[in-house]
Amino acid sequence: MMPTVDGLELCRQLRLQEATRTVPVLFLTAKDDLADKIKGFQAGGDDYITKPFIISELLARLQAHLRIQRLKRELALSEERYRLLIENSPDGILLLSPQLELLYHNNRFIEILKGQTQEPLTGRVLQTLFPISDLFCEISAIVERVKAAGGPAMKEAQITASNHRTVYLEVLGMPIRIRPDQVAMFQVVFRDITQRKRMEEALLQAEKINALGILTAGIAHEINNPLTGISNAIQILQRGNVARKRQDELFALVLDHIERIVRIVKDLRTFSQPHESTPALFSANEAVAEMVSLARYQVGRAKIDLETRPSPEPLFLFGDRHQFQQVILNLVVNAIQAIKETGKVTVSLQRQGGNVLITVEDTGMGIPANQMTRIFDPFFTTKRDWKGTGLGLAVAYRIVQLFKGTLTVQSTVGVGSRFMVTLPLHPPPPGGQGST
Ranges 17-26, 173-182, 260-269: which has the least confidence: 260-269
Q: Which residues contact 302 (CB under 8 A, 6 or more apart)?
A: 336, 339, 341, 342
Average pLDDT value for residue range 414-432: 89
Nearest to 299 by CA among 361, 384, 220, 218: 218
pLDDT level of residue 383 (50, 70, 90 thresholds) = low
Average pLDDT value for residue range 266-287: 74
Provide the CB-side half-sphere exposure for 340 (13 A, CA): 5
Nearest to 373 by CA among 401, 408, 405, 338: 408
Average pLDDT value for residue range 277-284: 87
Report yes or no: 176 and 187 within 8 Å, Cβ to Cβ: yes
pLDDT of residue 205: 67
Report yes or no: 127 and 140 within 8 Å, Cβ to Cβ: yes
State percent of the chain over pLDDT 70: 83
Exposed, middle or buried: residue 401 (CB in 10 Å: 0-12, 13-18, 19+)? exposed
Considering only the C-alpha atoms of the chain, give the largest distance between any 2 of them, rounded to a whole number of Å.
138
pLDDT of residue 82: 76
List phi, psi (to 5°) of 391. -105, -10
pLDDT level of residue 211 (50, 70, 90 thresholds) = low
pLDDT of residue 422: 96
Report yes or no: 28 and 57 within 8 Å, Cβ to Cβ: no
pLDDT of residue 2: 46
Whether the pLDDT of residue 359 is over 90: the answer is yes
Claim: this prediction has a pTM higher than 0.75: no
Average pLDDT value for residue range 175-189: 89
The Cα–Cα gap between 216 and 101 comes to: 58
Give me the domains of the chain, ranges plus CATH numbers: 7-85 (3.40.50.2300), 92-192 (3.30.450.20), 197-432 (3.30.565.10)
Mean pLDDT for the chain overall? 81
- Which pLDDT tens digit goes with each residue over 78-130? 888 877 777 778 888 899 999 999 998 888 888 877 665 667 788 888 888 88
Residue 114 CB neighbour total at 10 angstroms: 16
Average pLDDT value for residue range 238-262: 82
